[in-house]
Each structure stands twice: as C-alpha cells, then as structure tokens.
Structure 1
Amino acid sequence: MKKILIPFDFSALSVSALRFALDLAEAAQGEVTALHVVNMTPAYLESLDPNGYPIGSASILSELGRQATLDFARVRGELKTQLEPGFRVEQGLLHQIVIKTVHETQADLIVMGTNGSSGITELMLGSNTEKVVRMAPIPVISIHKGQKINQIRNIIFPTTIDLDQHRFIWQIRALQIFFKAQLHLLYVKTPDCKETDKALTAKLEQLAAYYDLKDFTVHVTHAASEEKGVLRFASRIPGSMVAMATHGYTGLTHLMLGSIAENVINHTHEPVWTCRLSEHI
C-alpha cells in the first residue's frame, strides 16, 4: 500500500474514498494519487455553447483540467491531512484510464467508492468499480461512503479448499497484519456440495495450518449460492472487510458466468478487497 491510486469525480462518495486512501497511505507511509477522468462523449460536445470554447479535444480538456485542478485544491484544503495527495486529469473511459495510470505510476493498490448496482443496469453495464475490479492488475479496495480504516477489525476470507494459492494467500496475510485483524476463513456450502460440515471444517483447519495462518477462525455456512452465503455471513460480523479473488471475466463470459466478487461488491455494505486470481496464484 505504498502507492495508492483513487479515481476521483468530486462526489461525496469519492471524497470518502480519498479520505480512506489517505488514512491507508499515512499508516503505510505511502502516497496517494487522485485521478480525475474526463469522458468527452459526442453528447457532451454537442451540449457546449457554440460561442464558447473551440470544439477541439485539447482545448476542452485543458479548460476542464484547469477547473478540476482548482476544485481539487479546495477539496485538499478541507481534508486536514498531513499527507498531500497528487492529482491527475486524463481523458477517456474510466476503467481504461485507471489501468493505464496504474502502469504509469506503478501503483500497488486502487481505492474506489461504489454505490453498487442492481437489476438490468448491473447485468448489461455494471458499475465503473466492477470494470476496474475485473481488469485491474493490482488489488482494489471498494468502499461505501463514510467507511474508515480504524473500523476494520475482521477480514472475511471466502475460500475454496485449495492448496495451490500461495501468492494470493500471502496477500491475505499481509492484509490481516496491516489491519491487525482477525481472519475468518469461510466456506459457503451450496446444495450441490455433498461433503459434511465436519469434513469441510477439518479441511479449512488443514488449509490454515498449511499456509501457517494466525489468529483465525473457520466457518462453514449453508446458502443457495456463494454470493448469498458471503453476504449473509458478512452482515453478522461487525467491523469487517471481505477479501476475495476475482477471475477477471469479460464480455460474453462475464455475462454468462459473472463474478462472485463483483456481485458481493454490488450488494454488501462492507469494504471489499479484491485481486485478480490469474495474477496471484
């Protein structure tokens, strides 16, 4: 958590995410860069006063960037923090620009605010947070308004019984140490699972021993789906953060298979830490 990137659109939610990111960076002796992305769609260009700025992306971006920089200076002055966040303005689609900026700044964590989504919007488009979570090459923390790092006392880790996820669990352990939190290993038993709760509990304990986990509990919960099991369990654990892998599905594959992590982000009230499994197994 030495270099944190936060997409920033001046909403109350993004200000909350910025405060969260600054608190993280102060605790980790790191730095924060706020990224404001301008998406100049044709509809936006048509709405401009024809007697105003010349219709040219460079001149419009320059003016929007100047105004955004002034607005961010005001926000920064209201934060009352010792750490000075950096600020960038870019043009394009948010999730694409975020990935580009990750590589340019060598960021190791993204913090994003999310309102979640539901219904047809979730199915067809998804939130910007979903897209970043699905594509980001580094971990992402998705938060809701008003959440603070000192409230996080528990890390909920929904997991399969897999002894070949060393790099991913190394990150889970680092997360637990950073927050000084208790780790809760959770297996969601769906109707198609035939193993007994006792056998699953024993396997979770073996997994914890194999990876040398400390200060942990193990839980087997029954639910119609993995998502519902995680959401129900998280709702019962105050001061929690959910830590999950995402497979990074895109396009038709995503529509057909979805991602449990993305669904949890959309429907939980807890902060969610995710990273792409393909990058961390």
Structure 2
Amino acid sequence: MKRILVPTDFSEHAANALKAAALIAQKTKCELYLLHLLEIPNHTSGTTTGGSSIREDILLIKKANEKLEKIKEQPYLAGITVNTSVQYERAFSGILAFNKKNKIDLIVMGSHGTSGIEELLIGSNTEKVVRLSEIPVLVIKKEIGELKFKKMVFASDFSPETKKPFAKMRDFAAIFDANLFLVFICTPNSFKTTLDAEKIMSKFIKNYDIQNYSLHIFNDTNIENGIVNFSKAIDADLIGLCTHGRTGLAHFFTGSISEDLVNHATKPVITFKI
C-alpha cells in the first residue's frame, strides 16, 4: 500500500475518515491524497449564463485550497506526506477517475451510517463508490480514537471468486496484527448444514498461509442481520466483505449487502471488489 485517497466535503464525517487514514498511513508509511470535488459549473465562457462566473469559480477553488492547507496543519497529520487536489467533477465519478490517474491503493470515506444520505459525500455517493470501485474502500462511521483494528470480520460464501478479495483482506489484517474471524452466514433462504459450511470454509482457508484466524457459522434471518449481529457478538472492530459491483437491473433486483452495511452498520466497513 503506497497511496490512500480521502475525499472530503469538509464535514465531520470526512474529518473522521481522514483521521483513520492518517493512522493507517503512519503504520504503512504511505502518502495521503486529500480530494475535494466541486459541482460542475453551468457556464462555458467568461460570462454569467445562469450559473456562476469564472471569477466566482476561481474564488471557490481558492477557498477550497485554503481549507485543505489548513487541514494539512492538523497535528495528527504530522510526518505524513499529504497531497491535495480540488477538481470540478461529480462526486463518485470524480473519485473513481482520480483513483485510476493517481494509482490509489485504498479509499477511506466518511459515512453517517444511519439515515443514508447526508452532505456531499455521504449516503448515495458513498454507496456508488463502494459498488463501483476497483480498489478497496474503507468506510468510517464515527471518530476512531487509536484505530484498534484487532478483531476483523470477513463475511463470505467462500466461493472461488472470493479468493483474491480475501487475500487483500488478509494483507490488510496483517498491517494491524489483527485476528481474522471468518464467518459463514446461514439464513432460511441460503441454508447450509453445519457440516457443509465447515467443509466449504476449511477447503477455502487451506489456500492461504495465514495466522490468527478462526472459522465461524452464524444463523440469522438474513445475511445483513447476520453480519451485523455476529460482529456485535464478538465486539469486532471492522467488517470486511466482497462486492460484485452489480449495476443496472441486476443490481436493482438483487440489491447489495455491502451498500446496506455501509448505511446501517455502526462498525467501520471495508469492501473488496470481486
């Protein structure tokens, strides 16, 4: 891990994400990229045409850069290389484009975590980034003191397609010397016997050289509730899972467990694209 992106709208939630990213950067010696996205202007020339003038746009950019420079002075960023950028682009598409251009390894975003929509980078935009990002996305719900990621949950069906995402989860856990709790959620709609679930998980984990892990089977009414309730039961510090990145009708009909958890779970959530 060399580069971490933190999108910011200067809200409290974005500040919490930056604090978490700074703690990760201190452990990994990587750089932080702080990105602020402005709404795309309505004008195409130097005159006012129902939107802001170019002069006003320049002022907005100047103020945003001043705020970013002030943020860089925060004590918790001491010793960390922080790159800043202000761009005119829509929130989620701007974040994804920035990732590719700057070869970002991890996105850390803030989220309200309950209602689902608040301010520029909260709610729907966070969900879109989680669904569409090719790189891991860590969503922070509230301020984290020392970022003690000692208990990490990885919820999965442990199918072959989840092998690469799990390898990334394993590497992330290694940064914090964390214990990994691999959990198979059984529900009325996706029921498996204990023996079958144990066989699937045991076969899956044999592919990895890994320490500090345990295998668990948890029954609940649906997968989302199972992940949340299991995480509460073991007092987990972080929830990790895969996302298919479904779009269009497939996403509409199947929904997205990762997006639901981003909105409803109180724990930080990290997602890995399959």
Short-chain TM bin: 0.7 to 0.9
| Larger CA deviation: 266-275 vs 109-118 | 109-118
Equivalent residue number for residue 96 of structure 1: 93
The answer as to whether partners of 2:108 and 2:137 remain within 8 angstroms in 1 is yes
Q: How does 1:38-77 map to 2 (within 5 A)?
A: 38-40=38-40, 55-56=52-53, 58-77=54-73
Gaps of 5+ in 1: none
User: 1:4 — aligned with what?
Assistant: 4
Q: Distance between the aligned counterparts of 1:216 and 1:248, measured in 2?
A: 27
* CA distance in structure 1 between the aligned counterparts of 2:245 and 2:219, rounded to whole angstroms: 26
CA RMSD of aligned residues (A): 2.4
Q: Distance in 2 between matches of 1:120 and 1:150?
A: 25
Letter matched to residue 2 of structure 2 = K
Task: Evaluate the alpha carbon distance shift between residue 119 and residue 6 of structure 1 in structure 2; reply closer, same or farther with a 3 A threshold.
Answer: closer
- For the residue of structure 1 that corresponds to 2:246, the secondary structure is coil
The answer to whether the aligner puts 1:258 opposite 2:250 as a matched pair is no
If the length of structure 1 is used for normalisation, what is the TM-score? Answer: 0.86
Describe the SS at the equivalent of 2:267: coil
Residue of 56, 64, 78 corresponding to 2:74: 78
Q: SS of 2:84's equivalent? A: strand
In 2, distance between residues paired with 1:99 and 1:182?
31
CA shift for structure 1 position 41: 6.7
Residue 130 (structure 1) aligned to one of 118, 127, 133: 127
Partner SS for 1:227: helix
Question: CA 1:84–1:195 in structure 2 vs 1: closer, same or farther (change >3 Å)?
Answer: closer
Deviation at 1:239, TM superposition (A): 4.4
**Does the CA-based 8 Å contact 1:3-1:108 persist in structure 2?**
yes
More helix by share: 1
For the residue of structure 1 that corresponds to 2:74, the secondary structure is helix
Could you say which residue in structure 2 is the equivalent of 1:247? 244
Distance, in Å, in 2 between the alignment partners of 1:214 and 1:275 is: 21
Amino-acid identity (%): 28
Contact 2:187 2:219 in 1 (8 A): yes
Residue identity opposite 1:136 in structure 2: S
Paired position in structure 2 for 1:141: 138
1:232-265 C-alpha deviation (Å, 9 max, x unpaired): 1112222421111111122333222111111111
Unaligned runs of 5+ in 2: none
- For residue 232 of structure 1, the aligned residue among 216, 229, 234 is 229
Cα pair 2:162 2:242 within 8 Å, conserved: no
Separation in structure 1 between the aligned mates of residue 116 and residue 170 of structure 2, nearest angstrom = 35
Q: What is the count of residue pairs matched by the alignment?
A: 264
Deviation track 1:211-238 (CA, whole Å, cap 9, x = no partner) reads 3432111111111211110011112222
- 1:156 is the counterpart of 2:149: no
Opposite residue 58 of structure 2, the aligned amino acid is S
Please tell me whether the aligned partners of residues 133 and 274 of structure 1 are also in contact (alpha carbons under 8 angstroms).
Answer: yes
**Distance change in 2, residues 1:59/1:120 (3 Å):** closer
